[in-house]
Amino acid sequence: MPPDVTASPVDQLFAELEAKAREARPRDDFAPLEKAFRFASQHHKLQTRESGEPYMIHPLMVAHILADMRMDVVSLETGLLHDVVEDTSVTVEEVRKAFGEEVARCVDGVTKLSKLDFFSAEDRQAESFRKMLLAMVNDLRVIIVKLADRLHNMRTLGHIPQAERRERIARETIEIYAPIAHRLGMGKMRGELEDLAFLHLDPEASAEISKTIETHRETSEAFLQKIRRTVEAELRREGIPARVDGRVKRAYSVYQKMKRQKINMDQVYDLLALRIVTDSVKNCYGALGVIHNEWRPIPGRIKDFIAIPRPNLYQSLHTSVIGPEGRHFEVQIRTEEMHRIAEEGIAAHWKYKEGRKGPAADEQQITWLRHLVEWQSDVQDPGEFMSTLKVDLYPDEVYTFTPRGRVIVLPRDATPIDFAYAIHSEVGQACAGAKVNGRIVPLRYTLRNGDIVEILTQPGHQPSKDWLALVKTARARNKIKHLINANEHTKAIEIGQKYLEKEARRLGVQLSKIGEEELQRAAGDYGYAKIEDLYAGLGYGKMSARQALQKIAPEHFAGEADEAATPAQGALETTPAQGPPSRDDGDAVIKVRGVDDLMVYRAKCCNPIRGDAIVGYVTRGKGVAVHSKMCPNVQNLMYEVERKIDVEWARNTADPFPVKIMVHTDDRPGLLAQITSILSSDNTNIRSLEARTESHANTDGALIEMTVDVRDKKQLEKLVAAMRRISGIRDVERMLN
Ligand code: MN
């Protein structure tokens, strides 16, 4: 029946709806649909929307969205009736009498969902989620109708005059409804909800991205057209039937990419995407081959979601390639059926309800919801329930708990140190260890969802520089950096002063007789404002104490050449090769003779351990490097004798040293077990262990590389000797780095 041109817009919308629904489901009975339309029109008769239109336009548009997804008649009836209980005097009972149990249940569910408040205090929020889940499990059409309702409300959100109300609805959409659509595999719904919410939540960013996309539209489309033709021709040649679409990515997904990778719009390469829809899984892989044959794939960007579908049952092959003109673009390859699931997810199910059996997709979705609901009934703490639900909706976050049940949300891969700083920066600062679920864990432990974390603190404990590599939160990183810098500066001042005093004694300069002004003047010569800064410079090894003394007491050095003017100085001042600065807050296991607390660190080139003969060397900007006397670098360094400092191992500390050991063995089973049993019988901690085969001239062997913690050289020698006694061990070496 062609739409009647004389009919009201409302009647016309209904005529179109019915035609659309009939086309999708020719065998269904549409009498109840018309009845629902009359019923809802009657009750909404006197109402208007914010836009001034008749209210009935809204339920009709919701039903249209559902009809576009080819949902069944019950869903369309629910779409038409979804606001009658909420906004008119009609009761659920009346709906039940007029339209039956199924429709009444769905309308009731949608009405209840409308009343949920997701942004209240945490427990009520959790309660809202719980109710929503129950409604969803009861009948998934409830959430599908609710999503269609939300989509139409988002499309018309601009008509709402109050900014806070708009923002609240947009925020609820992006935080609650879009993730649920995603979870239910409804890619198209999710995409539109996100883009509309983004438009209202961050109009500037949204407009900027859309504008950039718009300015490049012509060239983008020409480019897409070109690669599309190439792909179509190549696929034809291979006999792969396919539909190829080009598209520019959505604004919100571009925005997320920019945020996630901390890049700007110019750096988002693959704004363009190509989609190939073919007839079979075999041809999907065939098409992937065609693409890779034509353009070079970017390593690490090939993803097989056909073999391993996403949790929301999404299936596709993804790849990114470097196309013509060096432009990157993404290609998604899938079958018709995968495409429907990708676009409509759970909603795709209702299409198959009549006639042939539908895919198992919805069964799994329902299983997912059932699991959550069953599980939530076991959980007493609503906060915990909430977190677990969010875990599924937001996979990049980890939900952890304090022993008292407070929820601490951290980024994925966060450690107990992040947790400690999240509680309070003082807890972070004093964090000396952690217990997770009652057991002591190392601080590098990766927190998992549901972990109950207890931070063990020790008054006066200080964060170490190593922590910077362990933390994932900016908060913890900043606090640690700040404290380390402050500590180092204080320490450098102290060291510098002592270093200067020591050198003065050695050279016979009487510092006690030198006034403030001389020191101040010398500091000024180096460009420092304060004497303290001069000390700090000395502590960091920026200049030698002798050079400083020459400036402080020039008369004492009268007749000597000005050291600072020596041409070779520059070359001598270069930092010796001992890796990146690893200035700890002082290596407590080493003492510098005659001076306490000098800023020392073990050189990376030779990694000395207790018991090794050692020697210290003041380096530029890093304090005192302690080398093994056997270290080849020492010979090169030591010709500048005045920088040499005597050092010795401190007693009474049991701190272990990591040592790398290389074991050459025959390639036979059981050897590794023997080695580890030696280590464990000695209580030696193994930090890492890696074994690989090694092919020498004519004998096959294996190479085991490991890092173990030892107290001192004696323990190491004992271990090495024990290992050498194992038959099949060819050699054991200590690696210097
Ligand atoms: Mn509504």
Nearest Cα to 728, choosing from 707, 708, 702?
702
Alpha-carbon torsion (466, 468, 471, 477), positive or negative: positive
DSSP-assigned beta bridge partners for residue 384: none
The pTM assigned to this predicted structure is 0.52
Q: Is the pLDDT of residue 317 over 90?
A: yes
Q: Give residue 23 CA to ligand 1 midpoint distance, Å.
A: 25
Look at the block and give the residue holding tokens 């500091």.
Answer: 523
The C-alpha atoms of residue 332 and residue 375 are separated, in whole angstroms, by 36
Provide the 10 A C-beta neighbour count for residue 100.
13
Q: Is the pLDDT of residue 374 over 60?
A: no
Q: Give residue 41 CA to ligand 1 midpoint distance, Å.
A: 14
- Cα angle vertex 305, ends 304, 311, to 5°? 150
3-class DSSP string for 288-327: HHHHHHHCEECCCCCEECCCCCCCCCCCCEEEEEECHHHC
Q: Give residue 314 CA to ligand 1 midpoint distance, Å.
A: 29
CATH of 210-347 among 3.10.129.10, 3.20.20.450, 1.10.10.10, 3.30.460.10: 3.30.460.10
Q: Supply 76's token pair.
A: 């369309």
Q: Supply 182's token pair.
A: 């995603």
DSSP classification of residue 736: -
Which amino acid type is present at position 243? Answer: R
Q: Give residue 370 CA to ligand 1 midpoint distance, Å.
A: 26
**Dihedral pair phi/psi, residue 335, rounded to 5°:** -90, 170
Q: Give residue 83 CA to ligand 1 midpoint distance, Å.
A: 5
The C-alpha atoms of residue 470 and residue 476 are separated, in whole angstroms, by 10
Strands 328-335 and 303-304: unpaired
The C-alpha atoms of residue 657 and residue 662 are separated, in whole angstroms, by 16
Q: Give residue 118 CA to ligand 1 midpoint distance, Å.
A: 17
DSSP 3-state of 401: strand
Provide the 10 A C-beta neighbour count for residue 616.
25
Is there a catalytic annotation at residue 337? no
Look at the block and give the residue holding tokens 């090794």.
Answer: 612
Quote the CATH superfamily of domain 9-202: Hypothetical protein af1432 (1.10.3210.10)
pLDDT value of residue 395: 52
Cβ–Cβ under 8 Å, residues 118 and 176: yes
Give first-to-last CA distance, the chain, whole Å: 83
The C-alpha atoms of residue 669 and residue 675 are separated, in whole angstroms, by 12
299, 331, 660, 719 from 322: Cα distances, Å: 11, 11, 42, 53
pLDDT value of residue 617: 80
Q: Supply 689's token pair.
A: 């262990």
Of 18-27, 225-234, 364-373, the poorest mean pLDDT is in 364-373
More confident residue, 328 or 190: 190
Q: Give residue 82 CA to ligand 1 midpoint distance, Å.
A: 6
DSSP-assigned beta bridge partners for residue 731: 664
Q: Is the pLDDT of residue 251 over 90?
A: no
Q: Give residue 62 CA to ligand 1 midpoint distance, Å.
A: 8
pLDDT value of residue 514: 81
Q: Supply 165's token pair.
A: 């109300």
DSSP E strand boundaries for 536-610: 590-592, 600-602
pLDDT value of residue 20: 93
More confident residue, 91 or 644: 91
3-class DSSP string for 597-666: CCCEEECCCCCCCCCCCEEEEEECCCEEEEEECCCHHHHHHCCCHHHEECEEECCCCCCCEEEEEEEEEE
Strands 397-401 and 328-335: unpaired
More confident residue, 501 or 362: 501
Is there a catalytic annotation at residue 397? no
Strands 317-322 and 328-335: antiparallel
Q: Give residue 79 CA to ligand 1 midpoint distance, Å.
A: 8
3-class DSSP string for 38-97: HHHHHHHCCCECCCCCECCHHHHHHHHHHHHCCCCHHHHHHHHHCCHHHHCCCCHHHHHH
Nearest Cα to 232, choosing from 219, 223, 243?
243
Strands 407-411 and 397-401: antiparallel
Cβ–Cβ under 8 Å, residues 625 and 619: yes
Structural domain spans, the chain: 9-202, 210-347, 481-557, 583-649, 657-735
The C-alpha atoms of residue 240 and residue 263 are separated, in whole angstroms, by 38
Cβ–Cβ under 8 Å, residues 572 and 546: no
Strand arrangement of the beta sheet that strand 453-457 belongs to: 439-441, 431-436, 453-457
Nearest Cα to 675, choosing from 710, 711, 704?
704
Q: Is the pLDDT of residue 174 over 70?
A: yes
3-class DSSP string for 407-450: EEEEECCCCHHHHHHHHCHHHHHCEEEEEECCEEECCCCCCCCC
More confident residue, 564 or 593: 593
Q: Supply 146's token pair.
A: 């609710």
For the ranges 319-333, 387-401, 554-568, 595-609, the maximum mean pLDDT occurs at 319-333
The C-alpha atoms of residue 627 and residue 442 are separated, in whole angstroms, by 29
Q: Catalytic one among 11, 28, 86, 127?
A: 86
Q: Catalytic one among 87, 102, 127, 397?
A: 87
For the CA atoms of the chain, what is the radius of gyration? 36
DSSP 3-state of 254: helix
Nearest Cα to 40, choosing from 20, 67, 19, 13?
13
Q: Give residue 58 CA to ligand 1 midpoint distance, Å.
A: 7
Q: Give residue 146 CA to ligand 1 midpoint distance, Å.
A: 8
pLDDT in tens, 687-715: 877 777 766 555 677 888 888 888 888 88
Which amino acid type is present at position 234? Answer: E
pLDDT value of residue 573: 32
Neighbours of ion ligand 1 (CB under 5 A): 83, 149
DSSP 3-state of 330: strand
Helices (H), 565-709: 569-573, 632-637, 671-681
The C-alpha atoms of residue 109 and residue 132 are separated, in whole angstroms, by 8
Q: Is the pLDDT of residue 638 over 90?
A: no
For the ranges 143-147, 407-411, 670-674, 686-690, the maximum mean pLDDT occurs at 143-147
DSSP-assigned beta bridge partners for residue 568: none
Nearest Cα to 64, choosing from 49, 75, 54?
75
Q: Is the pLDDT of residue 104 over 90?
A: yes
pLDDT value of residue 361: 44
- Cα angle vertex 664, ends 658, 667, to 5°? 125
DSSP-assigned beta bridge partners for residue 694: 701
Of 44-53, 271-280, 304-313, 383-392, the poorest mean pLDDT is in 383-392
Provide the 10 A C-beta neighbour count for residue 564.
13
Q: Give residue 181 CA to ligand 1 midpoint distance, Å.
A: 17
CATH of 657-735 among 3.40.50.800, 3.30.70.260, 3.40.50.1000, 3.10.20.30: 3.30.70.260
The C-alpha atoms of residue 45 and residue 61 are separated, in whole angstroms, by 16
pLDDT in tens, 568-589: 333 233 333 333 333 333 445 5
